[in-house]
Amino acid sequence: MRWKFAAVVVLASMPFAAAAQSWQQYNYTDAGFSAQFPNPPNVSDEKYKTASGIEVPAKIFASRNENIVYSVTVADFTNTALDNDKAIDDAVKIFSAGGEIKADVNERVNRQHGRELTVIGKDASHSSIAIFFFDHKLYALEGRALPPNAEAGSANTLRFQQSLQFAMNGGSFGGAPGENANDGPPGGGPGGPGGGAGGGRFGRDGLRAPPPQAFAACKGKSAGDTVQQTTPAGDQRPALCTQSPQGLFARLNRRPPPPEAFDACQGKKLGDAVQFDTPRGLQDSTCIQTPEGLAARPNNRAGRDPAFNGPNG
């Protein structure tokens, strides 16, 4: 698992920044992604090793500021047969092996489906993680706040997580045509094109911002807590408290998974592989956390089954 810690190793000899620098959007057209960093990231060539032992070339883009390490790993799976769902599930297992997953939700960025995690490490570190796979590449972003006082860095690790974008249509990263199309830090600062502290994930790809009652339901709660939220129709439904740039909110599933999905994960742990009897037949599945409890999600439908998709749209 050296890839996960490579960013820490690369930056170990660098002094911590005395004060926060200006966040800027760094666009890497060749690598196919864009993200905000508080200072210029170092780029290194590494090897990414999956939990199943497959080793592929990877690039790591990493920097640190104060007690937070920011990194994006781009692993090239072009010459392997590993598909997107298996690659994402494999990466989730790697992260969960290093601590406790407090939140695990499906997400969508620039029409690409993936997973976002909140992980509390065994060393009391706090990580905000985004894992996506498209165009034969795995993208694993992690903002990792190191102890002591790791919890205080959660706002910045979340900001980093929510800044991730993927190159669309000739290298555009979501701004106006031709905007943010070059490598390096163009003017996409906080709140500018490509999202920032005020932009966030919500509102992109047609997703609506969480309603006020979603934030009220999680007042005084922690990420990963299960609460009851009142829907627009007036129904009470279980929801999972999830961190957003605007604050902690209750995340509803579009519809609860079927009873068989919960039965398949009885006595199992988050990330365990199970088989789930679906209308399409027996499916290889993975146990994921939902607001209603641990449930089996078919691997070949990860991120596409409405029963397991994100909140409010």
**Token pair of 136, please?**
């034969």
**Token pair of 50, please?**
């999956």
Q: Which residue has the tokens 């999956």?
A: 50
Tell me the average pLDDT across 164-184: 50
**Which of 197, 92, 89, 199 lies closest to 142, judged by CA?**
92
| pLDDT at site 213 | 80
CA distance 146 to 169: 37
Tell me the average pLDDT across 9-22: 45
**Token pair of 179, please?**
């905007």
Q: Which domains does the chain have, with CATH numbers?
A: 2-166 (3.40.1000.10), 211-251 (no CATH), 259-308 (no CATH)
Q: Which residue has the tokens 């199943």?
A: 52
> To which H or E segment does residue 119 belong?
strand 112-121
194 falls in which pLDDT band (50, 70, 90)? very low
pTM of the model as a whole: 0.60
222 falls in which pLDDT band (50, 70, 90)? confident
135 falls in which pLDDT band (50, 70, 90)? confident
* HSE toward the beta carbon, residue 143, CA cutoff 13 A: 25
- Greater confidence (143 vs 163) lies with 143
Is-contact 166 109, C-beta < 8 A?
Answer: yes
CA distances from 227 to 91, 105, 265, 293 (A): 28, 16, 21, 11
**Token pair of 117, please?**
């995690």
Is-contact 189 24, C-beta < 8 A?
Answer: yes
Question: What residues pair up with 236 in beta bridges, in sequence order?
Answer: 230
Average pLDDT of the chain, as a whole number: 74
Residue 16 pLDDT exceeds 70: no
